[in-house]
Amino acid sequence: MKAEIIAVGTELLLGQVVNTNATFLSEELADLGIEVYYHTVVGDNPTRLEQLLKQAQERSDLIVLCGGLGPTDDDLTKDTVAAHIQHSLVQDEQALAQLHSYFRFSKNKMTENNLRQTLMIEGGRAIQNPAGLAVGTLITEKDTTYLLLPGPPNELKPMFKQNARPLLEELFPQAEQLLSRVLRFYGIGESQLVTDLKELIDGQSNPTIAPYAKPNEVTLRLTANVTNHKKGEELLDQLEAKIMAQVGEYFYGYGDENSLVEVTVERLKQAGKTISAAESLTAGLFQSTLGDVPGVSEVFKGGFVTYSEKTKEQFLGIDPAILEEHGVVSEACAIAMAERTRELSEADIAVSFTGVAGPEELEGQPAGTVWIGLAEKGKPTIAELQHFTRDRRYIRRSAVMKGLDMIRRAVDRSK
């Protein structure tokens, strides 16, 4: 089963946008046992797209096109593919209903252009868009299957995962099953993890082990190739046990779509504990990260952003003498912030973040110097010092991850 991915969009050729769709789709297709042989990017030009389609049809069983399904005149993917396979375009009723619904509540007025987005290729299956207005199409013509998806990744990804992928699984069933399991690690770098697991990685055959470095964490994707599900699970269990024996202390959760914040919030819910926070350098990023988790209101009621010395005193009632003596980039400040926050919010656990986001120094301390405090009812308040790297954005995000890990471990200790 040979596939190729064609991304349509002049903005890609001008270097204004990175082609992350091709990467996402390739990973998904690999998971489905479909091999991708080419990625191509072509501009908003029907002649060149048509030439490419002719070539693709000869060499590929599946052609995935992304981009060019929008409302403007540059958006020509549907027209070009339809002409290529000699089908017409028809209105998709469900997409049309979604369009009308969107404009009922939006301040923007619907235009003629928007209607074009709800057209699909006749004879194909409509691929609904849970995050936007352009409907996609899956259609097979003369032994070649075409899948049309829109350009914006936040639309393409859910469309593919929820609506296109099940259809592809039917069209291209795998005799052998690929069974994957993703292990997530915090607090260890990729090269150290790979070094610790050298024997297992060098000796891998089935399952395979693939490490992926992500911002502030590392994942391992274990993939077993088997003819039955149960056997695959067993193989994965065995390999996982060997991995945990080496690096289990850094493991925090399973799954590709998981994250440290989701695991931490889940732990808090299970333990019936609430949290609060006072943030200086992170400026609300920690609490905002909690806010992305549905249902977090069960464990989080509110907190503070104390971005200056004055607001630490004003909002939290911290004794100015502490800040005068120790400064804000200090253990004492982190402890005072965490304790006062816990008292004011009455939460079971409160964390604090104070330090140097950069790029300049603060109180003679370099960018990346961060104290994170954790106050817990009935326990001594702790504070950890970290030295994060790279730039301001990365330092703030690294601090948030560390705070989450400290909370997760604190909840586990209390069990």
- Quick check: 212 binds its own copies (CB under 8 A)? yes
Site for its own copies in 369-408 (CB under 8 A): 387, 389-394, 396
CB of 241 to its own copies, least distance (A): 23
Which of 344, 287, 354, 282 has its CA nearest to residue 317? Answer: 344
Pick one of 229, 231, 310, 377: the residue that binds its own copies (CB under 8 A): 310
Told to check if 162 binds its own copies by CB under 8 A, we report: no
The residue (of 324 and 360) whose beta carbon lies closer to its own copies is: 360
Please tell me whether residue 111 binds its own copies under the rule CB under 8 A. Answer: yes
265 in contact with its own copies (CB under 8 A): no
- Closest distance between its own copies and the C-beta of residue 182, in Å? 10
CB of 89 to its own copies, least distance (A): 18
CA distance 398 to 285: 11
What distance in Å separates the CA atoms of residue 250 and residue 242, rounded to the nearest whole number? 14
Q: Cα(340)–Cα(324) distance, rounded to whole angstroms?
A: 17
Q: Does 192 bind its own copies (CB under 8 A)?
A: yes
Q: Which is nearer to its own copies, 214 or 379 (CB)?
A: 214
DSSP string, 188-253: S-HHHHHHHTHHHHHT--SSEEEEEEETTEEEEEEEEEESSHHHHHHHHHHHHHHHHHHHGGGEEE
Burial 373-400 (b: 16+ CB within 10 A, else e): bbbbeeeebbbeeeebeeeeebbbbbbb
Do 293 and 283 contact (CB within 8 A), yes or no?
no
The encoded tokens of residue 1 equal: 């089963």
Decide: is 25 part of the binding site for its own copies (CB under 8 A).
yes
- In the list 80, 114, 118, 398, the residue contacting its own copies (rule: CB under 8 A) is 114
Q: Contact at 8 Å (CB) between 352 and 372?
A: yes
Q: Which of 67, 232, 253, 368 binds its own copies (CB under 8 A)?
A: 368
Which run of H or E residues covers position 5?
strand 2-8
Size of the site for its own copies (CB under 8 A): 104
* Residue among 124, 303, 355, 403 that touches its own copies (CB under 8 A): 303
Q: What's the closest the beta carbon of residue 123 comes to its own copies, in angstroms?
A: 27
Nearest residue (CB) to its own copies, 154 versus 174: 154
The nearer residue to its own copies, 16 or 227, going by C-beta atoms, is 16
Stretch 64-103: interaction string toward its own copies, x if CB under 8 A: ------xxxxx---------------------------x-
